[in-house]
Chain A
Amino acid sequence: ETGVTQTPRHLVMGMTNKKSLKCEQHLGHNAMYWYKQSAKKPLELMFVYSLEERVENNSVPSRFSPECPNSSHLFLHLHTLQPEDSALYLCASSQDVVNVLTFGAGSRLTVL
């Protein structure tokens, strides 16, 4: 247990579904991140939140919608996804955006 908890660990959804991934950190950090890891590809940074404000949106399609209601929670809302969006979605947190990242175990998403 790293102190960053992601739920659900596994999610299967159809292309017309709406679902959300949740991340919670218990480390007192003030920055949170979403990364995407597709099969046989490097991790890709999707979003960065610092003090609950989005500071990075790495050209991510609008079918992925992040939400950071407070410094401990981060959501990734998913709608009308494509099969190529199937991947491991990793949440991470850090104290300020310049420090070491602590990752969660990830949410394995399959889009049918």
Chain B
Amino acid sequence: DAKTTQPPSMDCAEGRAANLPCNHSTISGNEYVYWYRQIHSQGPQYIIHGLKNNETNEMASLIITEDRKSSTLILPHATLRDTAVYYCIVRGWSQGGSEKLVFGKGTKLTVNP
């Protein structure tokens, strides 16, 4: 089961910042938070990940609360091409020892002109 909770949908105006929240209250100390997105009819695309510090790359910023129970993905200037389903994932480990990325239902972000 997914260990994260996200709103099912959000809207954002083109050019404005999109702030996507995620709750992961049961996260353990060594688990990372990952964000992927899936544009319609394509495979998921990695965006960013973090452990406890805030992170920024060319695509987005990730803000993780001090208690690590929630995080926010920020797209600073949303464009129409950012319309996608955004997945917040807490990385876990399978019994076989391999990483297990468990995808939930994500947030459907619609960027409006």
Q: B-contacting residues of A (Cβ < 8 Å)?
A: 2, 4, 31, 42-43, 45, 48, 50, 55-56, 90, 92, 94, 97-106
Q: List 30 A-B contacts (CB under 8 A).
A: A2-B43, A2-B45, A4-B43, A31-B98, A42-B104, A45-B100, A45-B101, A45-B102, A48-B94, A55-B96, A55-B98, A56-B98, A56-B100, A90-B44, A97-B97, A97-B98, A97-B99, A98-B99, A99-B99, A100-B34, A100-B49, A101-B44, A101-B46, A103-B43, A103-B44, A105-B41, A105-B42, A105-B43, A106-B42, A106-B43
Q: Does B17 contact A (CB under 8 A)?
A: no
Contact A56 B44 (CB under 8 A): no
B-chain residues with CB within 8 Å of residue A43 when the two chains form the complex: 44, 103
Contact A42 B44 (CB under 8 A): no
